Every structure is written in C-alpha cells, then in structure tokens.
Amino acid sequence: MANLRLENITRRFNNVTAIEDITFKVPDGEFWVLVGPSGCGKSTIMRTIAGLETATSGNLYIQDILVNNVPARQRDVAMVFQNYALYPHMTVAENLAFGLKMRNFEATKIRERVENVARSLSIDHLLNRKPKQLSGGQQQRVALGRAIAREPKVFLLDEPLSNLDAQLRDDTRAELKQLHQRLGITTVYVTHDQVEAMTLADKIVVLNQGKIQQIGEPQNIYAKPANRMVATFLGNPSMNILPATYTNSTFQIGSQSLACPPSIRERLQPRDGQGFDLGIRPEYIEIFGSFSKQEDDLNSDLWALEKLPLEVEVKVVEPLGRETLIRAALPILGGDNSVTSIQIQVPANVRLHPGDRISVELDFNHLFVFDPTTGEALYP
Ligand code: ATP
C-alpha cells in the first residue's frame, strides 16, 4: 500500500498540451476517480502514473519516493484498461498467476493467491478455461483478478467496466467496492459513468481541457460545484443553465421576471445590471400548474414556499420508469423566438404531452449562479 502524489505534472505532445500542472495526492488506501469530457487528459494522467508516458515536467511520487525515472515494471503499479488483453493460450488460472510467476513467487503462494482472488471475483469455477471460452464479463473479471493477484502498491483502472452489460456492470461495481474495502489498495479509476464516480469515489477529480477543475468528495462537488463546467458535467440529467440578467433585485429571463431570493441578492448587488447564468438541477423544478390555473396558484405565498415560477412549453416527454423527464422550451428573449431548453424531472404519474404549456417552480434553495464569461460559481 502506498500514497500517490502528482506535483505540477504537465505532458505535451508537440503543440498539444494533454495535461497541465496536475497536482493532487491520493492518501494511502483511498479510491479516487478521474472524470471529465473525452480528451480532457484522464488516460494521459493514468499512463504517466503507470510509467507508460513520461511527463514533460513535474514530479511523481509513489510512497513518497520520486519515481520519474523508475521504469513501468518496477513501479509496482497494476493497471486494468478498457481493452484489457488476456493471454489467449493460457487458462484463467495461468492468466491470474502470470504476474506472480514473473516476480518469482513460490508455487504454493501463487496457488493460494490465485484461488483467493478467483473466489472473491466468483470466477473460481472457470480456472481451467481459456479466455475464448468466457463471456465478456467473465474475461473482464479475470483481467481485474490478474491485477489484484499482484497486490500492487497502486491500482489503476481505466474504464474497466465499460464492456459489460448494465446488470453485470452494476454487480461488478458493487464487487469492486467491497474488494477495495477489503484490500485497501490505493486506487485511481477513470470512468464516464456518473453512478460509478459517485458511488466508488472517496474523492472525485474533475478535469477539463487538461486542467483540474475541482477535487472533492462526490456529494460536496455535486452540492457546491466550483464552476459551470463541473456543475453541468456532474449529475444526470445535467443541471439546467438559464441566461438571465439581474437588475433591482430581480432576475429577468426573457420576458419573465423572478424576484431574486434574499440570500442571493446580497452577493449580486455589486453587479446590478449584469448578465448571469442561473443553474438549477432538473430534480429541483416542480410542475406548478397549467397557464389557466396559474393566476389562482400565484395567489399562494410563493416567498413562503421558497419557489420561483416560470412558464415553459413541453417539447419532449421521456418516461424513465420511476420518474419522467420533460424537455421544455423557455423563451429567453422577449419578442423574438429565442428559447433555451430546460429539463424537468417529474413523478411518473404526472401526465404531460408535447405542446402543453405549464408553469414550473424553481426551488430557490437549490439555485446556482455563475459568471457567464468565466463560468465561475458566484452562488452558493
Ligand atoms: P477519453 O475520455 O476520450 O479516453 P481522455 O480524457 O483519456 O479521453 P487523453 O487520451 O488523455 O484524454 O488525451 C488528452 C489529449 O491529449 C487529447 O487532446 C489527445 O488528443 C491528446 N493526446 C493524447 N495522446 C497523444 C499523443 N500520443 N500524441 C498527440 N496527442 C495526444
């Protein structure tokens, strides 16, 4: 077991900067997840840790030892990549044992480790099969098992579950979590899957265009994103961004005005008259009524309810089982036809149809405000 420290790591390929000034420290035994859009530098970070890529500048430490010049095979780092390669001519048992044999482990020790790992991944009944006699999911477990059997200092997993079907992916994710709890091996994990990131990570590192945007515990990043990119990237369906202006304690979205909640007013007062991006997650928007009902409903005390009403037109209705996702159009400029799309998550029993015009309420306790130019979070 070991801690892992990246210090100001930059990697350039000719004129492409794949990663820039990456600094973070994974404490001994923690499970960290790297997320970010395609091309943001996740694999480059993993390959640099593994020693398959040389940093242009910066330092990498494993267990507080500088390993910049230590070759990959001496770093005691085990990797499982999306396109794992099992040795096709070897049985499962031989594949699991391979790394241990290369390190001259005793035969009895090898057998013991292979059996333990196979049992923990439920592949112990497959030990005599060759890879081509296994399903994709079983092959993936063997690849994981081969890395686990080595009991490395650091475990690098680059989208290891992406070849599995949904059910197997869920099961293997839970197994991975249990396995990590048991073995406590320092792990860095790359995924595009939000659920994997949120459920597995001690800390999430959000990357964009080669740079770290935010590092934090999953729930903290979700609740308090550092900027618009992080806010819209984490969460599925993703956060709505509504362009607005703020004048005299009022947000203006197209022709619609919303009184600015007192808690936000203070923060925005010095920027009166400017544009902002308002953020609200789909689960914090509620259907409030149809246009015909609106006047009555407006009589209720919206301030007391801590809700902000908006009028939108339903465009697409997507039933998801437990809830339904509504995509609606919200006019953003008075007079012309400019609209922005807004996503609303409603209970499955709410029946709506494309073309319905409805009022929705934004829960202002869950409102975010971003600088429209820099994307920096201004509130909360
Ligand atoms: P994905 O999610 O699609 O796997 P990623 O976040 O892992 O992407 P990287 O593969 O690390 O991204 O790539 C980061 C950037 O560096 C990209 O712009 C990529 O085109 C560039 N890059 C990576 N490897 C090389 C290389 N060998 N030569 C030139 N550019 C490269």
- Domain positions in the chain are 4-227, 240-379
Please give the pLDDT value at position 303. 42
- pLDDT range class, residue 349, cuts 50, 70, 90: confident
Mean pLDDT computed over 267-285? 88
- pLDDT range class, residue 219, cuts 50, 70, 90: very high
Q: Minimum mean pLDDT among 57-71, 99-113, 180-194, 322-336: which range?
A: 322-336
Please give the pLDDT value at position 178. 84
> From ligand 1's centre to the CA of 43, what distance in Å?
7
Residue 309 beta carbon below 6 angstroms from any ligand 1 atom: no
> From ligand 1's centre to the CA of 209, what distance in Å?
10
H or E stretch at 234: none
Residue 43 beta carbon below 6 angstroms from any ligand 1 atom: yes
> From ligand 1's centre to the CA of 6, what distance in Å?
18
> Tokens 């509620």 identify what position?
286
Nearest to 114 by CA among 78, 151, 156: 151
pLDDT exceeds cutoff 80 at 147: yes
- Whole-angstrom Cα distance, residue 71 to residue 66? 12
Q: Assign domain 240-379 to its CATH architecture.
A: Beta Barrel (2.40)
Residue 15 beta carbon below 6 angstroms from any ligand 1 atom: no
Q: In angstroms, what is the C-alpha Rg of the chain?
A: 25
Residue 248 beta carbon below 6 angstroms from any ligand 1 atom: no
- Whole-angstrom Cα distance, residue 95 to residue 332? 59
- pLDDT range class, residue 292, cuts 50, 70, 90: very low
Please give the pLDDT value at position 79. 87
> From ligand 1's centre to the CA of 139, what distance in Å?
26
- Whole-angstrom Cα distance, residue 87 to residue 68? 29
Please give the pLDDT value at position 172. 80
Q: Which atom of ligand 1 is nearest to the CA of 17?
A: 16
pLDDT tens column, 193-202? 888 999 999 9
pLDDT exceeds cutoff 60 at 3: yes
Question: Per CATH, which fold does 4-227 belong to?
Answer: Rossmann fold (3.40.50)
Residue 42 beta carbon below 6 angstroms from any ligand 1 atom: yes
> From ligand 1's centre to the CA of 18, what distance in Å?
6
Q: Which atom of ligand 1 is nearest to the CA of 41?
A: 11
Please give the pLDDT value at position 336. 55
pLDDT exceeds cutoff 70 at 116: yes
pLDDT tens column, 50-90? 999 999 999 999 999 999 999 988 888 988 877 677 899 99
- pLDDT range class, residue 307, cuts 50, 70, 90: low
Residue 18 beta carbon below 6 angstroms from any ligand 1 atom: yes
Mutate to test the pocket of ligand 1, among 10, 11, 40, 79 (most ligand atoms within 8 A of CB): 40
Instruction: List strand residue ranges (DSSP E) for 254-356, in order.
Output: 256-259, 275-280, 285-290, 307-319, 323-331, 339-347
What is the dihedral angle through the alpha carbons of 182, 183, 188, 190, rounded to the nearest 10 degrees?
Answer: -50
Please give the pLDDT value at position 337. 59
pLDDT exceeds cutoff 60 at 259: yes
| Burial track 346-362 (b if 16+ CB lie within 10 A, e otherwise) | beeeeebeeebebbbbb
pTM of model > 0.75: yes
Q: Which atom of ligand 1 is nearest to the CA of 14?
A: 29
With contact defined as beta carbons under 8 Å apart, do 213 and 206 qualify? Answer: yes
Mean pLDDT computed over 101-105? 88
